[in-house]
Amino acid sequence: MQAQLAYLLFEIRRMVRNKRYMLFTLGFPVLFYLLFLHVTGSSGPEARIAGTTWGAYYMVSMASFAAMIAGFNAGGPRLAGERASGWVRQLRVTPLPGWAYVTTKLSAGMVAALPALLLVEIVGAASGHVHLAGVVWLEISLVIWVGAIPFAALGVLLGFLVGSETSYPLTNAVVFLLAFFGGEFTPVKVLPPVMKDIAKAMPTYNFSSLGWSLLAREAPNGVHILILAGYLAVFSLLVIWRYRGDQAHLVG
């Protein structure tokens, strides 16, 4: 356990020092939040949407986006680069169990997701346009954090699938497409019908819906949880499959 913990701390230290990673995970969601907080016409952040205000709704969208991108990028491009550089192979010939590499990437993503989503919430609270009870703050934070697990798994999966050269643009494109089609940038209800149907199948929509419903003081819909769990199961199985394939590839 000491070895796994040491490796996790090592990874977190590297993440914090990586300017590109910090910009993406912490900077972008906050930037988007501040940019689009006032785009909803005359009523601005106080406009009503889905049983809450735009200010609160969009804060949950961007907090979800932040948690997703943090979890995702902890695996993703970094993992692809480390496979190419020989680091994964070098770790494999130490007593660190092979699976610990994957679980460390997932854990690092989850550790990074927490400050990323909290920062958006702090900015939301500071903007003066979000008024929630203390327990609701706690609930949405927890739900968004836990709900980001499938995206950390997807990040690891993509890290195994893509080459190190293409990994940054490719993984970021995936993140932005997921966010866009899942209604994190533009509310699903203002989208054309076809886009609504697409959104409902996206992991991002089901993810953000958990937080959105909490804002309207509703319990999260079980269907969203089931769909997210399904995505997590599929991503995890694919990670295991690719991980095994990679062992053979490492030998090359």
Partner 1 sequence: MVGERLPGLAPNLDLMLPDSDVSSTEHVVLFEGIFKRYGPVTALADVNISVQRGETVVLLGPNGAGKSTAINLLLALTEPDEGRIRVLSVPPREAVAAGKVGAMLQSGSAIGFPNGVSVMEVMELARKLYPRPLDMDILIELAGLGEFAYQRIDRLSGGQIQRVRFGWAIAGDPELIFLDEPTVGLDVESRRAFWKMMREFTGSGKTVLFATHYLEEADAIADRVVLLNKGKVVADGSPTTIKASVNQRTLRFNMEDTSVEELLCLPGVSHVEVRGKEVLITSTDSDETVRALCANQLPFEDLEVVGAALEDAFVALTAVESEIN
Q: Which residues in this chain contact partner 1 in the complex, by CB under 8 A?
A: 2-3, 6-7, 10, 13-14, 17-18, 78, 82, 84-87, 89-97, 247-248, 250-251
Distances (CA, A) of 145 to 96, 186, 241: 27, 21, 26
**Residues near 107 by Cβ (< 8 Å), separated by ≥ 6?**
8
Query: Minimum distance from CB of 13 to partner 1 (Å)?
Result: 7
User: Which C-beta is closer to partner 1: that of 25 or that of 52?
Assistant: 25
CB of 233 to partner 1, least distance (A): 29
Residues, the chain, total? 252
Closest alpha carbon to 183 in 197, 162, 204: 204
Give the shortest CB-70-to-partner 1 separation in angstroms: 17
Q: Between residues 2 and 42, which has the closer beta carbon with respect to partner 1?
A: 2
DSSP H stretches of helix in 128-221: 134-147, 149-161, 167-181, 193-201, 203-215
Nearer Cβ to partner 1 (25/236): 25
Q: List the structure tokens of 80.
A: 């692809």
Which residue's CB is nearer to partner 1, number 18 or number 127? 18
Task: Write the DSSP assignment of 33-44 as a string of letters.
Answer: HHHHTT-SSTTG
- In whole angstroms, how close is the CB of 76 to partner 1 at the nearest point? 14
